[in-house]
Structure 1
Amino acid sequence: MPSAIEILPVDPFDTAAHDAWWGAYAAARRTDMGADALIWTLEESRAEMQQRSATTERRAFIARRGGAVVGSGSLALGLKDNLHSASIAVTVPPEHRRTGVGSALLAHIEAKARAAGRRTFRAETTWPASAPADGGGQPGREFARRHGYDVALGDLQNRLDLPVTETVVDALLAEAPADGYELHSWIGPVPEQFVAEWAALDAALDTEAPTGDLDVEAYSAEVEDHRADEAMQAAQNRTSFGTIAVASDGRVAAYTQIVVSGDDGNAYQWGTLVRREDRGHRLGLRIKLENLRMLQRHAPEVPRIYTYNAESNEHMLAVNVRLGFAPIARMAELQKKLG
């Protein structure tokens, strides 16, 4: 009979404890997604967990059985917005699945979220594009289903292999002239004259983009919080590539961001958003092309870009198809509401 499962908090400044926590997470992700697993590196995770954030409280947990780490989990609580919700993650390496580890971790973390006054729990699970579209039979999806988590939004994980030829980029740029808009691009932190509006657009992304059935509010848009996130990116050895379009009224009309991991070498497409009053001018395509061209010129060694888009976001998916992105996996944004 298996020994009892013990759930313990992880001190992010305890190297051994954090590394064991990360190891269980990475092993589980690699099992489920193979070569297409998108895994925060050990040092990226360490920097995030050690950050003293004004916007998010992060907690990590490990499950131990017989002295061995058999699973890991995390809890993230917003401190300035979405005070009704909690983000939960549970990962169990394959050799320890179906032994009660995941259920014990989830029950422990949910109890912590309830104690913090949260009544909407959010989580994510990913499965290969070759699996059924609804995730049927996939470990993460079936685990979530058994524990009352519904799919609130379906996403596609897409990959663009680099380089994209200048001929292709130029041809697409000709279709998106951005007349009446001034474009600005940079590498690193957002320039001071643009940072307030960049932060506002970035904070609005989760409510302006398709949200499905997600119970989510707009995030806070304070410049000091954005600068704190940039400092964390630097600590994670990540480099940001940003492009904006400025309208004739002087306001930022659209933004896009690619972040390159200095640890794994890949690029990740982060937010892209166009103000409502500036949509219909193909600005999304234009700024993504300009950002891609900057990335390829300044970081030609980057082999690929990954991104996630809601399956219902037909416009952005069409933009990505034009750029050459191909779907490689699906991700479900899960939600469980307490009565």
Structure 2
Amino acid sequence: MTIEIRPVDPFDPAAVDAWWDAYAAARRADLGEDATVWSREESRAELQQESARSSRRAYVAVEEGVVVGSASLALTLKDNRHVAAVGVNVPPQHRRRGIGSALLAALEDEAGRAGRTTMRADIIWPASLPADGTGAANRDFARRHGYDVALGDLQNRLDLPIADEAIAALVAEAPAEGYRIRSWVGPVPEEFVAEWAALDASLDTEAPTGDLDIDAASADVQDFRADEALQAAQHRTSFGTIAIALDGRVAGYTQLVVSEDDGNAYQWGTLVRREDRGHGIGLRIKLENLRALQQHSPQTPRVYTFNAESNAHMLAVNARLGFTLTARMAELQKRLG
């Protein structure tokens, strides 16, 4: 049977639905209840956004009129213009018939025509499988197609609520003396947005990067505000906390984002400036942000976070908060010849 690869019109509801159904089915089959799946409407909003920062494209594999696989391609437009981020998802009942290979070949061809030389992809498998991913269908697929692990990450989950007394006890151990703590719900206040955007943009290079071929991202405030507008369109709520140094500058930031669709909170960036590390700021701001989350969104059942396996400090912070390992993620890389 012939497999046809088709682009998805983000404004065609049925086309996006079919693309998303294949994506969600594949992710949930691999990870079950701990699959971190963007909802249908969150995904639709991202595909429809007109972004100055990135070009996002979606594709489906069609066999006899039936969608049997989905894929995505993201091309950054202001930084890392040698990189293409790809995702391939095939539901279990359609695997091992060349569908994933056909989708990946189409993505690599499109990326090559766009002048991209480094392909990136993230894959996740349950923590119950070996640390190198042996036995995971997506890891075996990646190996066959020349994708190497550039950085290994851990997915951890924190079940809520955490008792206020437990949070207070940890706060007492991380006073972050000499720093003011500020928290809010929603967009970053105007007085802090430039420094927040700069810290957020440097996260990929300040945090452990392994062998990833990446540069720091753009710190343009207008682009950052556009990303916040996308979050609002996706019905996501952001919780932010910063530490402010004596000189008035932002010394560190952390962000939790709650999805209205699945109810979960997701840990996004956490970073402390190099010159301010060693004062317990990371733990303190995460504790204060968690406290704000529980105060303003008490119905949130859990928090998911990803950290580089080599980031011993942040993993230790998460362990103290009560996070437990649920899955492993590999950040893959392939250079096009």
> TM-score range with shorter-chain normalisation?
over 0.9
Give the aligned residue type for 1:184. R
> Any idea what SS the aligned residue of 2:202 has?
helix
Runs of 4+ with >2 A deviation: none
Aligned match of 2:83 in 85, 88, 100? 85
Report 1:1-339 matches (<5 A).
3-339=1-337
Give the aligned residue type for 1:7. I
C-alpha contact (below 8 Å) 2:112/2:336 kept by paired residues: no
**Aligned residue pair count:** 337
Q: Normalising by the residue count of structure 1, what TM-score does the alignment of the two structures yield? A: 0.99
Superposed CA RMSD: 0.5
CA shift, 1:78, in A, is 0.4
Which runs of no fewer than 5 residues in structure 2 stay unpaired? none
CA shift, 1:167, in A, is 1.2
Q: Following the alignment from structure 2 to structure 1, what is the Cα–Cα distance between the partners of residues 58 and 292?
A: 37
CA shift, 1:137, in A, is 1.4
> Any idea what SS the aligned residue of 1:155 has?
strand
Which runs of no fewer than 5 residues in structure 1 stay unpaired? none
Residues 37-77 of structure 1: CA distance to partner in whole angstroms, max 9, x if unpaired? 11000000000000000000001000001110000001000
Residues 261-293 of structure 1: CA distance to partner in whole angstroms, max 9, x if unpaired? 011000001000000000000100000000000
State the identity as a percent.
72
> Any idea what SS the aligned residue of 1:174 has?
helix
CA shift, 1:338, in A, is 2.2
> Any idea what SS the aligned residue of 2:173 has?
coil
> Any idea what SS the aligned residue of 1:258 has?
strand
> Any idea what SS the aligned residue of 1:199 has?
helix
Q: Normalising by the residue count of structure 2, what TM-score does the alignment of the two structures yield? A: 0.99
